Amino acid sequence: MTIRMYRRFAGLNGGGRAALVTFLTAGDPDYDTSLAILEALPKAGADVIELGMPFTDPMADGPAIQASSLRALKAGQTLKRTLAMTRAFRQADDATPIVLMGYYNPIYIYGVDKFLADATSAGVDGLIVVDLPPEEDEELCLPALKAGLNFTGRAREHVGLRLLRLDHRHHRHGRSRYRQGRRRGRPHQAPHQASSRGRLRREDRRPRPRHRRGRRRRRGRLGAGRGIETKP
């Protein structure tokens, strides 16, 4: 875990509240506007920022994020410029953790070793790469952890934080629920059953029980994020 991430969640735990995790796609609609938004997020209350790395085929994202990636690519955004944006952000803010989120292909083309070195020097704190299964940990996950970066892939638990875990299994009341991950993080699931907002499809929902049991207060580091969707 990077020192920025540790300090941020330690402070949040001391204040008794969860983290507000926000997302934006780097370079959307253009580099300058995107950088201005990035720099404004901490002032607006963001505790952790997920910065999307634009990709031509964001298969695990919804139409809103897909469109934002295409706009960014059309405006000339590249992985190198995304790292440069992070470096520019760090000139004024060295406290807010930044997690790069995206897909493996751009990183592979960039070169894993070079990418990890440049990401670390730019001030990146973690990675979310949704299309690398656990069987491919040696490709990026293990090198990233060795470099000191938090890492989350699809259906894995390698991040050194106890975040909210989306659990699609149903307990005996037949209710899908969010629960706190007991291990080393949360798996970032591709949306087979849920959208980026964690909402089950109508056909996957189950009736809720009339009476809810009292919820035991859990201790740990929690992060609350909000997805993006288009209006009907």
Give the residue numbers marked as catalytic. 50, 61
Tokens of 46: 């963001």
**Cα Rg of the chain, angstroms:** 18
**Rounded to 5 degrees, what are φ and ψ at 105?**
-55, -50
Tokens of 220: 């740990």
Q: How far apart are CA 151 and CA 182, in angstroms?
A: 17
Give me the helices (H) in the chain, please. 3-15, 31-40, 63-74, 79-90, 104-110, 112-122, 141-146
Three-state DSSP at 175 gives coil
